[in-house]
Amino acid sequence: MSEKLSIIVFSGTVDKLYPVAILASGAAALGMDVEIFLTFWGLNAFRKDMVKGNMRISKDFEEMAPTVMQVFKEKNVPHWFDMLKQAKEMGNVKVYACAMTYDLFGMKKEDLVDIIDGVVGVGEFLEKAKESQITLFI
């Protein structure tokens, strides 16, 4: 059985979506399977109308947002979403939408970016995640 990293993504701020993309890329490069479960603000960040224009960073560091964005631009850091897409092309990375968030906010498949592999309930995700060596909540 291959090694697996599972990430529950609750946050929708750019400073937390970057670690998700970087960890997924690293794991994919190392040949690990990756399962990502997007819930609440995490899923919101994967809406087509949110994904690229999102400039929010965590409230604690709010005043740093312009600096962070500036540094990323200057250092040519790719967009977190593009990194995640690349990770998907490179390895076995699955991205799931939380069914409850999806239903509660009346989302439709076409509202979300095209890298979502399905809408799953918490039970199904836990079934998949329980074989992981590493599980993170971000």
Partner 1 sequence: MGEIKIDRVIDARGSHCPGPLMELIKAIKQAGVGEVIAVYSSDSGSKTDIPLWVKKAGHELIGVYEREGYTEFVVRKKR
- Closest distance to partner 1 from the beta carbon of 98 (Å): 27
Minimum Å gap between C-beta 106 and partner 1 is 37
Residue 122's alpha-carbon distances to 63, 97, 98, 100, 138, in angstroms, are 35, 10, 7, 8, 16
CB contact at 8 A, 95 and 127: no
Considering beta carbons, is residue 10 or 86 the nearer one to partner 1?
A: 86
Q: Which of residues 29-48 bind partner 1 (CB under 8 A)?
A: 29-30
Strands 118-120 and 134-137: unpaired
Q: Compute the least distance from the CB of residue 100 to partner 1, in Å.
A: 32
Q: Which residues bind partner 1 (CB under 8 A)?
A: 22, 25-26, 29-30, 75-77, 86, 90
